[in-house]
Amino acid sequence: MPAPSAGVYLDASATTPPAAPVLEAMAAAQRAAWGNPSSLHGYGLAAAELLERSRWQCARLLGCRPTEVVFTSGGTEAIHLALLGVAARRPAGRLLISGVEHPATEAAAAQLARMGWQVVQLPVNREGLVDRDALTEALKQPTDLVSLIWGQSEVGSLQPIADLGQECRRAGALLHVDAVQVVGRCAVEFGALPVDLLSLAAHKFQGPRGVGALLVRDGIALDGLLGGGGQEGGRRSGTEPVALVAGLARALELASEHLPGPGAVQALRDGLLRELLAQPGLRLSGVDPFRDPLSRLPHHISLLVCGRHGRPLSGRCLVRELWQEGYAVSSGSACRSSGSGASSVLLALGYDEAEAGSGLRISLGPWLAAADLAGFPMALARVRHRLSLKP
């Protein structure tokens, strides 16, 4: 098996390698701002200053106010803080989610259900987009909260959040958006969106693991999940990880240099996708980016893979065999990797059990060049041939 350094990394939707300037920013923070930002002496003040400068930088790049930025340990915590934090201020009510949410949203919704909330799951179409008629019908009943994934990690589809958000606003429902796959890859202006809460994670755009943020519209009341020192305006207790936050801010800055508009990563994606779809037995799942480029994540390819005689192949076997060829890919969301068999996301899109087990995800990043991808189509063809020969 090749060493990790010998493989071509094509799994950006799972995590990304931290960029060199991000590591430098974190190292500088560790040297100069290692104090507790709640302390009143010079060491603490240096840490507090860097923390707030990073907050202002994130706010500027995300189109929101600094007071609307709550730093968290990542996307999972941000999602739980959004849903459970808002619910803590209300009697048990009604929550709408889609059928293709991240497991973190599903887990938070299940916790609310145990607390007496009614949780309604909205269907999606064959491309993974929320059924608009179902949303409209569901919002006719009093609804407190809606939580929707903006960029679906397994099939890459981008929900029309501006339109869906306006509909939620008209119905008087708060909207939380899981933007973990979107921030750093598409332009986000929180202040211009009809969205009340938005979650993100640094490691999806070459920042460090272990830090993320929840954007909370000013005036939205929510309780923290943890008691303690009352940091982050009382919304997230715990000593802030200043170096990680500095890395988040630097990673956002680097990502913003390539936004808005299509860039080098999307061009690489489109070229590779054309080559792959020329192979019989490979089908795209999610939105077709050549038909509707604004409705798919710009770095994302998801395929249903068949072998000889049209028999669906195991996505997990494809991942293992492609690593033997020197390519790191995924068979779906890394956060669902503990299970086995068919993808619940692909089942929600209407694929059968065999098809839903044949998913392959290739997700790109700015560390790649065309030369890195040149051998991938033939490697996939070889792997498909080998797996087709197995009983």
CATH classification of the domain holding 376: 3.90.1150.10
Mean pLDDT, to the nearest integer, of 320-329? 97
**Residue-wise over 160-183: b if at least 16 C-beta within 10 A, else e?**
ebeebbebbeebebbbbbbbbbbb
Last residue of a domain, one of 208, 239, 256: 256
Task: Provide the mean pLDDT of the chain.
Answer: 94
Last residue of a domain, one of 216, 231, 256: 256
Separation of alpha carbons 173 and 305, rounded Å: 40
In this structure, are 132 and 89 located in the same domain?
yes
Radius of gyration of the chain (CA): 21
Q: Which residues on neighbouring strands pair with residue 327, listed in sequence order? A: 8
- Is the pLDDT confidence value at 1 over 50? no
Is residue 168 annotated as part of the catalytic site, yes or no? no
CATH of the domain at 235: 3.40.640.10
What's the pLDDT at 322?
Answer: 98
In this structure, are 203 and 331 located in the same domain?
no
Mean pLDDT, to the nearest integer, of 216-221? 96
- Is the pLDDT confidence value at 214 over 80? yes
- List 58, 168, 306, 335, catalytic entry: 335
What's the pLDDT at 340?
Answer: 52
Closest CA to 296 of 267, 266, 272, 271: 266
Taking phi first (over 0 means left), then psi (-120 to 50 degrees means alpha), and beta for anything else, what does residue 116 get? Answer: left
Closest CA to 182 of 200, 163, 161: 200
Question: What global pTM score does this model have?
Answer: 0.95
In this structure, are 161 and 190 located in the same domain?
yes
Separation of alpha carbons 286 and 273, rounded Å: 13
In this structure, are 118 and 173 located in the same domain?
yes
Q: Distance of alpha carbon 230 from its chain centroid, rounded?
A: 28
Place of tokens 């999606």: 124
Last residue of a domain, one of 221, 256, 291: 256
Separation of alpha carbons 239 and 230, rounded Å: 9
Mean pLDDT, to the nearest integer, of 371-386? 97
Distance from the first to the final alpha carbon of the chain? 23
252-280 pLDDT, tens digit per residue, is: 999 998 775 668 999 999 999 999 999 99
In this structure, are 169 and 279 located in the same domain?
no
Query: pLDDT over 90 for what percent of the chain?
Result: 92
In this structure, are 62 and 180 located in the same domain?
yes
In this structure, are 127 and 211 located in the same domain?
yes
What's the pLDDT at 5?
Answer: 57
Domain that holds residue 322: 4-17+261-389
What's the pLDDT at 2?
Answer: 43
Separation of alpha carbons 145 and 120, rounded Å: 11
326-367 pLDDT, tens digit per residue, is: 999 999 655 554 455 799 999 999 999 999 999 999 999 999
357-373 pLDDT, tens digit per residue, is: 999 999 999 999 999 99
DSSP class of 340: -
